[in-house]
Structure 1
C-alpha cells in the first residue's frame, strides 16, 4: 500500500467522522432547545444551567467540524506530514469545555445551598420530556463512541465523553426535579450535582491524557515490537534505530535502519516493500522511511 493509498483511506475516514459530527450536532441542538424551553417555562435554574451545559455539546461538535476541516491527512507544501494534529487540538478544546462545565456545576451547586429556593412549576410532562432528553443523550454517547472506536477517532471518542458528562448532569437534574416534585426536597438536585461535576472533571483529564502524547510525538509503537515483526521477514538480517510516532490505526510515521541479505538494489528494494506491506497490514496507514545499510552495520547484541 503506497502513501497515496493510505492518504485516500484516511480521507474517507475523515468524511465519515464529519458525517457523525453533523448527526450529533443536530441532536445536541434539539436537546439544548428542549432544556432551555423547559427551564424558562418552569422557572428552574437547574434546567437552565443544564441547557447551558448542553450548549457546550453543540459547541464541541462545531469545534470538531472546524478541526476536521483543517485536519486533512494529505500533505501540502507547508505541512509535508499532513494535518492530523489539528484533530488532536480539537480534542483538547473539548477537554477545555469539560473543565469549564465541571467548574460551573460545582459553583452553581455550592451557591444554591445558600440561596432561597423558589417554588418551581414541575409536573409529570416536564419529567417525561426530561426522560426523553436523557434517552437522546444516551443514544448520542453510544453512537459517537461506537463510531469513534470503528474509525479510531480521538475526536469522536472525546466528544462521546463530553456527551456522557451531559448524561450525568441531565440525570442529576431529573432526580432533583423529581425530588422537588414528589418528595418536597428542594436541595436534592444541587447535592447530586457535586459527584457529577467530579465525573466531568475526570473525563476532561482522560481526554488530555489521550491526546497530549500524540501532540508531543510520544512513541506510537514500541521499538522492540517493530523489530521482532520486521526480523520475521525472510531476508532481513538486522533492524535498528527504530522510531515511530502518530496513532496506530489512523496514521503512523516509522523510520528505521535496515540490513538485508540481497546485495543488488532491486532485490533489496523489493524486500523493503515487503516490510512496508507487513507493517501497514499490522498497524494500518503508515508512512515508512527505511535506510538500507551494509552487512557491516549489523548491531551486535
Structure 2
C-alpha cells in the first residue's frame, strides 16, 4: 500500500462530502462579544484617564500624572483590540488557510509595547524630579474622593474583561484585563502616597512611589509577552508523548512518530504526524485515521489533524523532532 496524506479540519465538518460517525462542533466566532466588551471598557478607560489627568494637574502629582498616562495606554489598547479583533476571524479562507487568530496575539504584543513605553516614561519623570528636587503636591479631600471613584471603575473593568475573556477564549481581552489589573495596583499605590502627603505632608512620597508604579507596569508587560510569544513562534502546544499515548489507544495503530503540534490548547490546535497502521488497503487505513482523528478531537478540541499514513513494514522509533544539542 502506497503511503498517503490524510488531512481533516475537525472545526469545519460541513466541508466534507462524506458522512462521519462522530460529530464536530464548529469554531465559535467570538468577535462580536469581544468588540462589545472593548467598546464598553474603552469609554470607561477614557473617563478614568480624564479624571486622573485633571486631578493630576490640580495637585501637581507626578505619580498621578504617570498613572493617568498608564490609563491612556489602556484606552489605546482598547482601540488596538478593536482593530485586531476585527482582523482575527477563526474561520479559514483562501489567503489564511489556518485562520486569522494570530492577529489577536499580535494585538496583545502591541499592549506589551505600550506598557514598556509607560514604564520608561514613569521612570524618566521620577528621576528628573529627584535630580531637580521639585516636589510640591497640593491635595485635598474632594480629589481623594474622585480617585476612589476612579479605583472603583478600574476594578469593575478588570474583572468584567477577564470574566468575558475567559468565557469566549480571547487573548486580547485577557491581556487587556491584566493591564487594567496593574492599573488598579498603580492607583492604589498613588492613592496611598497622596494620603500620606495629605495627612503627614510627606512630599517625597509622590516621587518615591513612582518607582513601584513603573515596576508594576513592567511586570504586566512581561506577563503579556510570556503568554503570547509561544503562540506566535509556533511553540509546541501539546507534548508529543501525550499525543502518542492517545493515538496508541486506537485499534489498528502500530506506531506514530514525527509528531508536531502548534496553536493554543482550548482555542485552536494543529497536529501533524506519521502513522503506521495495520492495514492492507487504503479503506482500512482511512478508517483507522478517522478513529485517530476522533480520539484527538475528543481530547484536544478544537483540533485540525494532518496524518501521513505508512504501511505496517515501516520502522521508526522517534516520536518527535529531536532537540539539537
Asked whether 1:92 is paired with 2:109, we answer yes
Matching residue of 1:60: 77
1:294 deviation in Å? 0.8
* Structure-2 change in CA distance of 1:23 and 1:273 (3 Å): farther
SS in 2 for 1:297: coil
- Structure having the higher helix fraction is 1
SS in 2 for 1:288: strand
For residues 81-108 of structure 1, the C-alpha deviation after alignment (integer angstroms, 9 at most, x for no partner) is 1211111111110010111111111112
Distance 1:263 1:132 in 2: 73
TM (norm. structure 2) is: 0.84
Asked whether 1:216 is paired with 2:226, we answer no
Matching residue of 2:12: 4
Q: 1:169-184 to 2 correspondence within 5 Å?
A: 169-184=186-201
Q: Which has the higher contact order (CA 8 A, sep 6+)?
A: 2
Equivalent of residue 94 in structure 2, options 77, 96, 101: 77
Asked whether 1:109 is paired with 2:126, we answer yes
1:249 deviation in Å? 0.8
Distance 2:82 2:294 in 1: 32
1:242 deviation in Å? 0.9
Aligned length: 299
* Structure-2 change in CA distance of 1:152 and 1:176 (3 Å): same
Equivalent of residue 118 in structure 1, options 136, 140, 146: 136
Any conservation in 1 of the 2:248–2:255 contact (CA below 8 Å)?
yes
Equivalent of residue 247 in structure 1, options 248, 252, 264: 264
Equivalent of residue 165 in structure 1, options 162, 166, 182: 182
SS in 2 for 1:295: coil
1:293 deviation in Å? 1.2
Asked whether 1:32 is paired with 2:40, we answer no
1:172 deviation in Å? 2.0
* Structure-2 change in CA distance of 1:263 and 1:27 (3 Å): farther
Distance 1:145 1:168 in 2: 16
For residues 110-169 of structure 1, the C-alpha deviation after alignment (integer angstroms, 9 at most, x for no partner) is 22223433352x222211221121122122222222333333332222212211221122
Asked whether 1:200 is paired with 2:217, we answer yes
TM (norm. structure 1) is: 0.91
Distance 2:90 2:151 in 1: 36
Deviates more, 1:70-79 or 1:89-98: 70-79
1:205 deviation in Å? 1.6
* Structure-2 change in CA distance of 1:30 and 1:67 (3 Å): same
1:218 deviation in Å? 1.2
What value does the CA root-mean-square deviation take over the aligned residues?
2.2
* Structure-2 change in CA distance of 1:210 and 1:193 (3 Å): same
Deviates more, 1:245-254 or 1:103-112: 103-112
Any conservation in 1 of the 2:11–2:27 contact (CA below 8 Å)?
no
Unaligned regions of 5+ residues in structure 1, if any? none
Deviates more, 1:128-137 or 1:44-53: 44-53
SS in 2 for 1:55: helix
Asked whether 1:186 is paired with 2:203, we answer yes
For residues 225-271 of structure 1, the C-alpha deviation after alignment (integer angstroms, 9 at most, x for no partner) is 10111111222221111111111111111111112234343343233
Distance 2:25 2:85 in 1: 15
